[in-house]
Amino acid sequence: MPRTVYFDYNATTPLDDDVRAAMLPFLGEVWGNPSSVHHVGRHARALLDDARDRAASFLGAKPSEIIFTSGGTESNNLAVFGAARLLKSRGRHLITSSIEHHAVLQSFDCLEKKEGFSVTRLPVNANGRVSPDDLKRAIRPDTVLVSIIAANNEIGALQPVSELGSVCRDRGVLFHTDAVQWFGKMPFKSLSLFNADLVSICAHKFHGPKGAGLLWVRSPLHPHPLLFGGGHENERRAGTENLAAIAGFVAALEKFVTPPIFDEHPLKPLTAELRASIACNDGCVIVSPSSNCLPNTVAFVVSGADGISLLAGLDVEGICASSGSACSAGSIEPSHVITAIGKPDLAHSLVRFSLGRHSTADEVRFVCQCLPRVIRRCRLHSSSSPC
């Protein structure tokens, strides 16, 4: 078996031992339903309330503003559908960007196609950034919601979210940001840095458990729920709370977000070496911006090759990478992000390396040694394949 080099930390991270330990009581002795009125349920409720208080304190929020969810996708769906449906009597115009995660893009698509909303999708520049001036021009009297991702999952581009949020606030428009890739990678003091009304967070991106996330909703906003069947989460998200996952989420939040577990100081030399090596390969174009980018992320495209073949070739060498969004793994559709930054002809050939706290210089050197032959093999195969 080849060695394993895991360079796909934007997709998911391994569960931390301390986080696992924080979850264990909720897989054993603490098994009550927090909605039950007896003492077993009340004990579970007290611990759920404590987790909510801790999350709120860490984020600089009120406990009533925290909605625990199953992860980033649900948080994004709840923000977009919940806010749009809540405010549809005021207007049916929505704004997003062309490089959002599919959990946001497809939510807007559904509102546009099935519920009578109008959607403006803002363009981005070659570095994948939205212009605040474009946002100002796009806002109309009937605009009720703007959703712009904080850090792009495919190429790592950081958006000027604080400025975008200020534009929305000045115009009286709700602003949501998908901050799933931000937490654990970028500096954080409080949610105020986003100037947002709704913020999505996901635990498994910073060594927490899968199936856990939250949506922060600025009080007194009360988005329409997506799930019905009970008064859980202050009647905003029906379903018995997953206490084990919530406990792990809060433990990871407290341990790995401030300072970010993806420390830029050891990571930047590693990604700089990767960038330099990738640039030396014929046909390779680096698409992660050199500034205003996640410190752990290097994405590139390869002319004359396709992403699935490149990932398969890397995997044979034991190297785990990604081609765009992990939630689209196995998809052969071109990357909408690469298309949006002006490279539609290369949108099918994206490869993303995303490093983490366990990544080493030796692993980077190994990847740099393997990459040229993987690229040559894929380009040769592509050129010899019949049209």
CATH number of 17-256: 3.40.640.10
Sheet bearing 174-178, strands edge to edge: 66-69, 213-217, 198-202, 174-178, 143-147, 93-97, 118-122
Q: Which of 327, 370, 378, 387 is catalytic?
A: 327
Q: Residue 7 CB: number of other CB atoms within 10 A? A: 26
Q: What is the pTM of this model?
A: 0.95
b vs e for 310-341, b when ≥16 Cβ sit within 10 Å of the residue's Cβ?
A: bbebbeebebbbbbbbeebeeeeebbbbbbbb
Task: Tell me how far apart the alpha carbons of residues 121 and 323 are, in angstroms, rounded to a whole number.
Answer: 23
- Looking at domain 5-13+261-384, its CATH architecture is Alpha-Beta Complex (3.90)
In 132-201, which ranges are continuous DSSP H helix?
132-138, 161-171
Is residue 327 part of the annotated active site? The answer reads: yes
Can you give the pLDDT of all 387 residues of the chain as single tens digits?
Answer: 579 999 999 999 999 999 999 999 999 999 999 999 999 999 999 999 999 999 999 999 999 999 999 999 999 999 999 999 999 999 999 999 999 999 999 999 999 999 999 999 999 999 999 999 999 999 999 999 999 999 999 999 999 999 999 999 999 999 999 999 999 999 999 999 999 999 999 999 999 999 999 999 999 999 999 999 988 998 899 999 999 999 999 999 999 999 999 999 999 999 999 999 999 999 999 999 999 999 999 999 999 999 999 999 999 999 999 986 555 555 557 899 999 999 999 999 999 999 999 999 999 999 999 999 999 999 877 655 543
- Where do we find the tokens 């910073």? 206
Residue-range domain boundaries for the chain: 5-13+261-384, 17-256
Q: Which residue has the tokens 């793994």?
A: 329
